[in-house]
Structure formats: C-alpha cells, structure tokens
Structure 1
Amino acid sequence: MEEKKQLELLYRRYLSNECTAEELDRFLELLHDNEEEGRALMSATWNNTEAVPDSGLVPSFIPSPSRKITLRLFIKAVAAVLLLAGGLYFFRTGWLNLISPVRQMEVKNAAAEHKQVQLEDGTRVWLSANSNLSYPEHFRAGNRKVQLEGEAFFEVAHDAEHPFIVSAGPVQTTVLGTSFNIEAYGAKNKTRITLLSGKVSVSLQADKNNQQAIILPNQQVVIDKQAEKLHKVDFPQAGVFLQRRLGFYVYKGTALAEVIHDIETQYDVKIELGHGLENEIFYGNLDMTAAINQSLDKLVTVGGAKWKRNGNQYVVFRSGND
C-alpha cells in the first residue's frame, strides 16, 4: 500500500517535470516492481497529457516540433527504443544522464608539477608532470573509468562489483583494488604499467590483434605502440614508484641517458647529451618538483660534466669539450 501511494506521488511529480534524479530513479524502480499498478495509473491520464520536455534538456541540433505530442505516443516511442537498447537498466541510466548529467572533471599538470587527486570512490591518484587526468565527478553504470595521458600512480579503492578502468590511448588497464603506476605519454612510443600490490589486467587494442596480460606485484607490462606488441617482465624495484609519485626520483646505478630522459619528460625540455656520456652511470636522488637547474647541478656530478643552456634546449657535456 505504501509503495502504491509513493508511485502515485512520484507519477504526479513526473508529469509536472518536478522529479529530481533520485526521485526519477525510484519512480522507475516502482514501475518495474508494480507493473499492473503503473499501467493502470498511466492509462487514466496519458491520453490527455502533453509531454513537454524541460528547457535545455534537448540539444540545439534537434528541431523542436510545432505539434503537440501526447504522453502515450511519447512513452510508446521511448519504450521501443528501450527494448532495442537493452531494457530497464539502460532506460534508468539514460534518463539519469539526461536529467542530471555527470560533470567531466579534468586535471592538467604543467612541467615539474605534481598533484594528488581523490576520486568519489576513495581512489587516490598521484598525477605526474606534463600529465592529464579526465574522470567523471560521479561514477555510474557498471564500472569506474578514467582517462590518462602522461604518468600517474593509482591507489584504487576496492570494489569487486565495479572494476576500475584506466584508458590510455590504445591501452586499457582494469583492476578491482590495487596500487600501480602507469606511464603513458602520448609522444612516447612505449607505455609501461608497473604493479606494486593486487592484480592487474592490461589489454592492448591493436589493428593486427588485441593482446592481454595479467600481472602480479613486482611485475611490469611494456607496450610498444608502434610495433603493436605487449610483453610482461619482472620488475623487483617497483617500490621506487612510491617516491616517484611525489616527484622524487631514486637512481641506483642508472645510465645517464635514462636519467636525461626522465628530466626531459618531467620538465618538458630538450637536453643534448655530449659524446661519451651516454653510458655513464648515475647514483643519487633528484627532486623533479624543484627548479630544473637544481636537478642539472646534481646530475653533472657524474664524470666531471657540466651543463649550459643553448637557446631553447640544454646541453650536458664533459669539461673541456665545450
């Protein structure tokens, strides 16, 4: 009896376009659970009721009809579309998105800038320099999906019923609850996904054939976008990303060319490495949130090197070769 009264009340609010998104969701649930009562309720009114959409809900590119449309005709048309689309679930989701669209959020980091973002579900994201993260203000439907260009470290809140998906170009990473790092800069040929805890599924959508790999902690997936190849490797030093997500890079015997590559990415600059320095090894820590001259000053402690600015780029060279 209580549900019948609630159905009648929400139906009246629906006809007068006064339903909130939550009330509309409840109204559709009651219609689904009380089909007989709902049909009787509608049949008493729909022949004489005009369906007039709220202002602003219909896109400008859809012409506005001059003739009146009865609610019965409107409901029949919508019902036909819903049957094709897949049923009540999609009906409810579609109406919610129409009446109360989810706002798309975007975070953009500049050179040497790092930010921490907390999503609605409790997931935390550490966004690296020169990176973009796009995500909905509220998650709906069956999954939690975000888009990334650049690099980010994720601590995903566990939710077994709603997978968390990170889309980065042709690469899609799916998890339930875990911590991992994704490096997916658009200008770079290789994308890397490194896992610290949990379990991750990585898929590559390629023209030749789609590929998939599942990785465990201390493993990494490397994707060659040009060759459209995906392979999995062990990566025991995965813990370095706990510091790297904050902009602190730890090097324990890393080739100088690789360190230069990181500096270029973080500061969005070009660095020319002088002859004979490519294979020099660097030990040390670099704070990529500091000014670039501080990072370069630390870098040139290797092999008696120096650095200078030459126009729009930097040059690292050996003393006496300038």
Structure 2
Amino acid sequence: MNTKEYLKYLLNAKDWTQEEKKWMLRYLDANDLSELEAVAAEEFNTDIHAVKNILDRKLSENILDKIHQQIQTPPAVHTRVVRWYRSKIAAAALIVLIAGTVYFFKDNLNSFFNPVEMLQVAAGTRERKKVQLPDGSAVALEPGSTLEYPATFEGKERVVKLDGEAFFEVTKNPEHPFVIHTRFIHTTVLGTSFSVRAYGAQEAQVVVVTGRVKVQTAAQGKGSGEIEVTVNQSVVYNKATGQLEKREAAEEALFYERRHNGKFIYDGVAMATVVKDMERFYNTSIVLNGNVKHCIFYGSFYTSDELEKALRFVTVTLNAKVKKDSLANRYIITGGACH
C-alpha cells in the first residue's frame, strides 16, 4: 500500500508493531508531511457529514493520542533525540489540527482575513424605520429598536442582530437560512414574514404571519431545543424558566399584519379590541367609559395618522367623545351610541 493508505491503516490500528513505530518515526522525520495532512482532512471530511458541521475535537485528539501512545521515546537516548522526537510530534499535531480547523472553519477564517463591513440602523423612541437588507429582505423597525447587519451576506447563513422589535419579510433562499440573533433567542427562517420583539432584558417573542420559522434559546447549542412555529402561532421566551413556550396567536398575527400593511381595518369588532390595538400601536393608555364599552366598530385608521386623528375617526362613527387626561397621560372615551 502507498504512504497515504499506510497512514490510514496506522491511525485506525489498535496496536503498532515495532516496525510500524519505526516507520512512523522515519515518516515524521521527513520534510514532506503532506500525506498526513491529506489523511487528517479526509478524516474530518468524513466526520463533517456525520455531525452536521459541528467540529468534534475528540477526532483530532484521538489521532494525536494514537501517535503519542504508539511511539514511545526509547529509554536512555540522547537529549538531542528527545528534542527531535518532541519536535516531530509537535509538527504532526499542527498538521492534524490545522487540517481539521481549516476545513471546518474556512468561512470564519475568510471572514477574519476579509472582514465584512457591519451596518447599524437605530429607530428613535418615536419613530419607525424601514431597512432594505443586501439580500432584498425588508425589515420594519419599531421605536427604540436597533438592527445590525453586514453590508454583504457571506457564508452559509444570513445573520442579523436585533435589539427591540421588528417585522421581517425575508427573501427566500434555502441554501442560506436567515437568522436573527437577540439576547435570549435565535430565530431561523428560509423565507416568510414574522415579528420579533426582544427589547434588552425583557422577555422575547416571535409571531409568525406567513410561512414557518424555528426558534431556539441563545444559551442552547445550535439545533438543540428548537421549537417550530407556523402561521398564527408564536414562541415566547420565559425568563423565569429559561424555556420557550409555544402559543396560538391569531390575534397577535392579525395585529402585526395590519400594522405592517399600514392600515387597521375593522369589520364589526368590539371597541375593546380596537382600543387595545391603538394602545399598543401608539404606546398610550385609553379608557372606555359609558355605552361605548359595548359598541361594535366598523371602520379603519392608518398607521400614518397621529393618535388624536385616529381617535377622532373611531369616536365620530359612534357619536362618542374623547378627552385627554394630561395628568394621568391617557385618553378617555365616553358616551356613544352603538349601531
């Protein structure tokens, strides 16, 4: 057998004969260790399919241990021989580890030597921003939110970082999944529309409007503890337990869809629901008093409308009145004649 095949045989053999030990020492003394590099790369190549791109460092350790264990330093040898032996073992270690590391982390190495410019967009406390990503995906940032993303997506995944709340419309690309990193959760998607809310230390939530996504906690390893959610479902991160909770979320999904489309349309909806949407969208407090609490609303308001204008649209159809309570920082709707 040739050198490469013989190396494979030795690295997989349980015990080495004295001749085999001498052969390995002669090989390590040679200037060309390319066969060992090739064998190491092939071993890693086989392993990568088995562990799905997760580096098993035990593989490289086993190869090095095999060399160390089988080749024992002869007793009563000259100090120069010991130094020679150690230097050759160190060279072999470098070859094995570099071969495996380069194979598994070639994308990371490329990113290190050719860093991609990172961009950041922040929405003020009273503004909303729309961001077009390099792959054509669209992100609608809510007030007080920050999005970080690369000027160009490279590597196997399209990764962005979010602090706050945003609505995503992801361009489909099965070869390069889209991943959103937040403090507590990571969300992976191929192509869909959904909302992510994760402000700082607050609990995190993902609500799916279309398509399907996978969510996992940031503290877990990739692929572990994943929860898959689809249309009208959500995942909430429970800080107390550190676990993800899957929930039905038809109303939540409808809210995000309306908000994203720029118009809240109601066709016979309880006023309590309308007020809840307005409180959430405008980040304010609204109180219903009197008959209006029992009314059903038919109408709409635009997301571009100021709060007072939207309130007038809602109350005028019900012949109700709205008053601002500046001290309590809230609005009070009273009266009303239900149709």
Q: 1: CA distance between counterparts of 2:116 and 2:96?
A: 21
Q: Secondary structure at the match of 2:191?
A: coil
Are 1:287 and 2:302 matched, yes or no?
Answer: yes
Cα displacement string for residues 72-91 of structure 1 (whole angstroms, at most 9, x for unaligned residues): xxxx99x9599379521466
1:221 corresponds to: 234
Q: Is the 8 A contact 1:213 1:232 kept in 2?
A: no
1:318 corresponds to: 334
Cα displacement string for residues 122-167 of structure 1 (whole angstroms, at most 9, x for unaligned residues): 2222333443322122223321111223433322222222211122
2:117 corresponds to: 103
Q: Secondary structure at the match of 2:285?
A: strand
- Please give the residue correspondences for 1:68-79 in structure 2 after superposition, counting only pairs within 5 Å: none
Cα distance, 1:298 vs. partner?
Answer: 2.5
Cα distance, 1:219–1:263 mapped onto 2, change above 3 Å:
closer
Cα distance, 1:306–1:238 mapped onto 2, change above 3 Å:
same
1:147 corresponds to: 161
Cα distance, 1:232–1:127 mapped onto 2, change above 3 Å:
same
Cα displacement string for residues 158-209 of structure 1 (whole angstroms, at most 9, x for unaligned residues): 2222211122332222111223333445586562412313x221234579xx
Q: Is the 8 A contact 1:155 1:178 kept in 2?
A: yes
Greater relative CO (CA pairs within 8 A, separation 6+): 1
Cα distance, 1:252–1:211 mapped onto 2, change above 3 Å:
farther
Cα displacement string for residues 27-54 of structure 1 (whole angstroms, at most 9, x for unaligned residues): xxxxxxxx69xxxxxxxxxxxxxxxxxx
Q: Is the 8 A contact 1:306 1:316 kept in 2?
A: yes
- Please give the residue correspondences for 1:36-47 in structure 2 after superposition, counting only pairs within 5 Å: none
Deviates more, 1:94-103 or 1:169-178: 94-103
Q: Secondary structure at the match of 1:300?
A: helix
Q: 2: CA distance between counterparts of 1:186 and 1:285?
A: 33
Q: Is the 8 A contact 1:122 1:157 kept in 2?
A: yes
From 215, 219, 232, the counterpart of 1:202: 215
Cα distance, 1:318 vs. partner?
Answer: 1.9
Are 1:125 and 2:142 matched, yes or no?
Answer: no
Cα distance, 1:312–1:101 mapped onto 2, change above 3 Å:
farther
From 220, 232, 240, the counterpart of 2:247: 232
Cα displacement string for residues 17-36 of structure 1 (whole angstroms, at most 9, x for unaligned residues): xxxxxxxxxxxxxxxxxx69
Q: Secondary structure at the match of 2:97?
A: helix
Q: 2: CA distance between counterparts of 1:295 and 1:100?
A: 50
Cα distance, 1:259 vs. partner?
Answer: 4.2
- Please give the residue correspondences for 1:137-176 in structure 2 after superposition, counting only pairs within 5 Å: 137-176=151-190
Q: 2: CA distance between counterparts of 1:281 and 1:230?
A: 33
Q: Secondary structure at the match of 1:293?
A: helix
- Please give the residue correspondences for 1:39-58 in structure 2 after superposition, counting only pairs within 5 Å: none
Q: TM-score normalised to the size of structure 1?
A: 0.59
Cα distance, 1:230 vs. partner?
Answer: 0.9
Are 1:244 and 2:267 matched, yes or no?
Answer: no
1:127 aligned partner, one-letter code = L
Q: Is the 8 A contact 1:154 1:179 kept in 2?
A: yes
Gaps of 5+ in 1: 1-34, 37-75
Cα distance, 1:187–1:106 mapped onto 2, change above 3 Å:
same
Cα distance, 1:110 vs. partner?
Answer: 3.2
Cα displacement string for residues 242-299 of structure 1 (whole angstroms, at most 9, x for unaligned residues): 542143233445555554454444444x325255677765443222223222122224
Q: Secondary structure at the match of 2:156?
A: coil
Cα distance, 1:243–1:261 mapped onto 2, change above 3 Å:
closer
2:232 aligned partner, one-letter code = Q
Q: Is the 8 A contact 1:112 1:290 kept in 2?
A: no
Q: Secondary structure at the match of 2:226?
A: strand
Count of residues in correspondence between the two structures: 243
Cα distance, 1:318–1:203 mapped onto 2, change above 3 Å:
same
Cα distance, 1:223–1:254 mapped onto 2, change above 3 Å:
farther
Identity of aligned residues (%): 32
Q: Is the 8 A contact 1:263 1:288 kept in 2?
A: no
Quote the RMSD (CA, aligned, Å). 4.2
Cα distance, 1:309 vs. partner?
Answer: 4.6
Asked which structure has the greater CA Rg, the reply is 2
Q: Is the 8 A contact 2:288 2:334 kept in 1?
A: yes
Cα distance, 1:203–1:284 mapped onto 2, change above 3 Å:
farther
Cα distance, 1:92 vs. partner?
Answer: 4.3
More helix by share: 2
1:307 aligned partner, one-letter code = K
